[in-house]
Amino acid sequence: MKHATTAGPIQHAEESVQKWKENGGRVVGYTCSFLPVEVLNVANVLPARLRGTGVSQADIGDTYFGPYICSYPKCILQRAGSGQFSYLDGVIIVPGCDSMRRLDECWRKAGEDFQDIVPDFFFHFGVPHKAADHSKAWFSSEIERLMKSLEEHFGVSIGEDDLRQAIARYNQGREMLARLNDFRKASVNTLSGEEAFALSVAGNLMPRDEYTRYLGEYMDEVSGRKPGLYNGKTRLMVAGSVSDDLQLIGMAESLGGVVAAENLCFGQRHEGDLIGEDEDPISAMVRHYLDESLCPRMMGGYQTRLQFLKEKIEEMEIDGVIFQNIRFCDLHGSENAIFERDLEAMGIPCVRIEREYGALADTGRLRMRLEAFMERMT
Amino acid sequence: MISAGCDIGSLTSKGVIMENGRIKATAVIASTNNPESSAEKVMNLAVEKAGMAMDDIDVCVGTGYGRDRIPFVQDTASEIVCHGTGARWLVPGAMTVIDIGGQDCKVIRLDAGGQVEKFITNDKCASGTGRFLEVMARVLGVSLDELGTFSAGTMSPITFASTCTVWAQADVIRHLNDGHPLEDIGAGINSAMANRVSMLVSGSKPKPEICMTGGVSKNRGVVQTLEKLLGSRIHLPRRADPQLAGAIGAALLAQKNGRGGAN
């Protein structure tokens, strides 16, 4: 197993995508955790969540998006424009937020200037902001539209039983990720936040069966570790907007903390919530993706999300919470401020960080703030 | 006990030597591009002023952006805890500290015991920092001290549409070319700075008494405008140069903990 370093799972996942492709498999990139990936699994298409990491220039992203917008979709477009996604057989834009919705039009527009960056299968998958009956009906029709489109484009058939099996396959991984958190509990404390997060990010890329196997082997190895490996460290939670790099968590852990929980888009949120396997698969997916979402894009769910954080803080014995959001993220930026207000009022120390997506910039000031935050709790 | 604090900031480096809780000597120099060399220079200067040798210092704590590269410290602590500790020593009743340094602005809320309860730092840009005033003073062709006096000398400060250092600089040049008095432009710059800082302060839910440290607290124009905006008096340190708050805090932590740190 390649997990000698904390980045091992992500590296392994990237290699898996490459191998899948080399073996003639089809890969479709997508942008948001609201995509029912189970559908793609049935179509024998690998859903690989698009990442914008490793970008060192922003000329393409800035040209089509302009400056005052989240840097995550800009980095994705930068990579697309540079030809780094040329291996994709398709792209599904899921408008988790308005910046991500704009990625659809910016990518298409960039396609007029950069050759072959828009694959033939380029699908806009709508997701409602409410979990009301009428929005569920719409989401259901969007899933059906996606299925039909996949069937037509890739010449596959997506049957009900196949969907149930895919749901069971994904549920298995969700259950394992929930169990992975047991290693992070204060009474066990054998898994670092960096490792746990890397494993979660890997799950957004790797073929599902391989991921489940990999996760199982990893957990076997972790269960052999001596309990209390991270005892004596300040127990932290990292929450907020999209993040798929290990550096922020790594920095917090290098300063004497252990990130024992997270509520991040690429990381773990509500992994214990499974999709019903004994009911109509589309209705079950609709319920899971809309009702159980903990993303601030869903209207009217603040109290549920606050309650979730409180329960996680209690269960994982968290000393303090780091809220982070990518600059210009209205959804997380505003919700983080309210979370901070409410949790501080309960005596839970919080710090709020606004940053750019990708490799940590401004590390000097960021480090100073994290260090001062840790000092506050010691 | 002889304790010392060494604060290597982005613009200036500060050294403070204390003997049994009283300041024995201080030094401030412009930071060089090498934190080790800045630290050695400033502490040598402080030691010389105190009439002692480096070996006479029992314990030294480092702080500031360059703290990890100071070769002679026994421990380091963040700017937040050092500035909070230093400000409480400089203004004993302070519960909220506004510290504006060369490249950042921090608001620190302290509890009754002087421990950091909450802090906020600017994370958008440099416009609420000392660098903003420095750039504007240079464009006006006046010293930083003189810039601070402009607010008291005018009844009609110019309103700047932008607090972005780059855009405001262009605005200043335009007003100079239009023949506006220096006092009006300078007072407008001080108000723009105070406005920017007041947003950060208000967001921190400040508790009285409020005090201000850092180089910008020497600018009376900024302080007075900020007092009006916050509707609260701002106490200024009198026991020592307000720029030294971080180094004083570091020296106090060194004395308290023997080896420094935040505990």
Over residues A61-109, the pLDDT tens digits come to: 999 998 889 999 999 999 999 999 999 999 999 999 999 999 999 999 9
pLDDT digits (tens, 9 = 90+) for B231-253: 999 999 999 999 999 999 999 99
- State yes or no: pLDDT of B123 exceeds 70: no
Assess A341–B contact: CB distance below 8 Å, yes or no: no
Predicted structure pTM score? 0.87
Helix-, strand-, coil-residue percentages of chain A, each rounded to 5: 50, 10, 35
Contacts of A222 (CB under 8 A, 6+ apart): A180, A183, A190, A191, A195
Closest CA to B211 of B90, B40, B103, B70: B90
Instruction: Give residue A265's pLDDT band: very low, low, confident or very high (50, 70, 90).
Output: confident
Tell if the CB–CB gap between A372 and B119 is shorter than 8 Å: yes
Supply the DSSP symbol for A82: T
Which residues are registered as beta bridge partners of A204? none
Coil, helix or strand for B259? coil
Q: What is the pLDDT of residue B128?
A: 74
Q: What is the pLDDT of residue B169?
A: 82
Of chain B, the percentage scoring pLDDT greater than 90 comes to 54
pLDDT digits (tens, 9 = 90+) for A128-178: 999 999 999 999 999 999 999 999 999 999 999 999 999 999 999 999 999
Q: Read off the tokens for A288.
A: 């899971």
Q: Is A51 left (phi over 0), alpha (psi -120 to 50) or beta?
A: beta
pLDDT digits (tens, 9 = 90+) for A195-244: 999 999 999 999 999 999 999 999 999 999 999 999 999 999 999 998 88
Assess A213–B contact: CB distance below 8 Å, yes or no: no
Q: What is the pLDDT of residue B151?
A: 83
The Cα–Cα gap between B257 and B263 comes to 7
Tell if the CB–CB gap between B78 and A378 is shorter than 8 Å: no
Q: What is the pLDDT of residue A2?
A: 44
Residue B242 is which amino acid? P
How large is the average pLDDT for residues A329-337? 94
Assess B169–A contact: CB distance below 8 Å, yes or no: no
The Cα–Cα gap between B202 and B226 comes to 11
Test mutation, B11, B80, B105, B167, chain A, max A CBs within 10 A: B80
Assess B113–A contact: CB distance below 8 Å, yes or no: no
Q: What is the pLDDT of residue A174?
A: 92
Which residues are registered as beta bridge partners of A91? A29, A122
Shortest Cα–Cα distance, B246 to chain A (Å): 13
The Cα–Cα gap between A28 and A90 comes to 4
Please list every residue in chain A whose beta carbon sits closer than 8 Å to the beta carbon of residue B65: 364, 368
Please list every residue in chain B whose beta carbon sits closer than 8 Å to the beta carbon of residue A368: 65, 78-80, 121
The Cα–Cα gap between B58 and B74 comes to 10
- State yes or no: pLDDT of B173 exceeds 70: yes
The Cα–Cα gap between A120 and A65 comes to 22
Coil, helix or strand for B111? coil
A 67-86 residues with CB < 8 A to B: none
Instruction: Give residue B162's pLDDT band: very low, low, confident or very high (50, 70, 90).
Output: low
> Do A353 and A97 meet the contact criterion of CB atoms below 8 Å apart?
no
Q: What is the pLDDT of residue A357?
A: 87
Q: What is the pLDDT of residue A228?
A: 94
- Element at B210 (helix H, strand E): strand B210-213
- State yes or no: pLDDT of A378 exceeds 50: yes
- State yes or no: pLDDT of A3 exceeds 50: no
The domains located in chain B, with CATH, are 1-91+239-263 (3.30.420.40), 94-236 (3.30.420.40)
How large is the average pLDDT for residues B198-221? 91
How large is the average pLDDT for residues A169-188? 94
What's the alpha-carbon Rg for chain A, to the nearest Å? Answer: 20
Say how many CB pairs under 8 Å bridge A and B: 36
Instruction: Give residue B124's pLDDT band: very low, low, confident or very high (50, 70, 90).
Output: low
Q: What is the pLDDT of residue B126?
A: 64
Contacts of B162 (CB under 8 A, 6+ apart): B168, B171
Assess A328–B contact: CB distance below 8 Å, yes or no: no
User: Considering CB atoms only, which of A364, A372, A378 is closest to B65?
Assistant: A364
Which residues are registered as beta bridge partners of A275? none
Shortest Cα–Cα distance, A364 to chain B (Å): 7
User: A45-54, B93-102, B163-172: which has the minimum mean pLDDT?
Assistant: B163-172
> Do A201 and A214 meet the contact criterion of CB atoms below 8 Å apart?
no
**Helix A247-254 and helix A363-377, axial crossing angle in degrees, nearest 10:** 50
How large is the average pLDDT for residues A7-28? 94
Test mutation, B108, B121, B199, B207, chain A, max A CBs within 10 A: B121
**Could you tell me the strand order of the sheet in which A350-355 lies?**
A257-263, A234-240, A320-326, A350-355
How far, in Å, are B2, B14, B24, B252 from residue B55 at the CA level?
Answer: 10, 19, 15, 18
> Do A29 and A92 meet the contact criterion of CB atoms below 8 Å apart?
yes
If you measure CA to CA, which chain B residue comes closest to A364?
Answer: B65
The Cα–Cα gap between A271 and A278 comes to 19
Give buried/exposed letters for A207-232 (b at 16+ CB in 10 A, else e): bbebbbebbeebbeebeeeeeeebee
Supply the DSSP symbol for B104: -
- State yes or no: pLDDT of A318 exceeds 50: yes
- Element at B175 (helix H, strand E): helix B165-177
Pairing mode, strands B12-19 and B2-8: antiparallel
The Cα–Cα gap between B208 and B222 comes to 19
**Helix B245-257 and helix B79-90, axial crossing angle in degrees, nearest 10:** 90
Residue-level length of chain B: 263
Q: Read off the tokens for B150.
A: 């402009």
- State yes or no: pLDDT of A307 exceeds 70: yes
The Cα–Cα gap between A300 and A297 comes to 9
The Cα–Cα gap between B250 and B256 comes to 10
In this structure, the number of other CB atoms found within 10 A of the CB of residue A94 comes to 23
Q: Mean pLDDT for chain A?
A: 93
Q: Is A151 left (phi over 0), alpha (psi -120 to 50) or beta?
A: alpha
- State yes or no: pLDDT of A323 exceeds 50: yes
In this structure, the number of other CB atoms found within 10 A of the CB of residue A177 comes to 21
Contacts of B41 (CB under 8 A, 6+ apart): B13, B29, B32
Q: What is the pLDDT of residue A271?
A: 64
Q: Mean pLDDT for chain B?
A: 89
**Could you tell me the strand order of the sheet in which B12-19 lies?**
B22-30, B12-19, B2-8, B59-63, B75-76
The Cα–Cα gap between B74 and B122 comes to 29
If you measure CA to CA, which chain A residue comes closest to B76?
Answer: A371
B 29-68 residues with CB < 8 A to A: 65
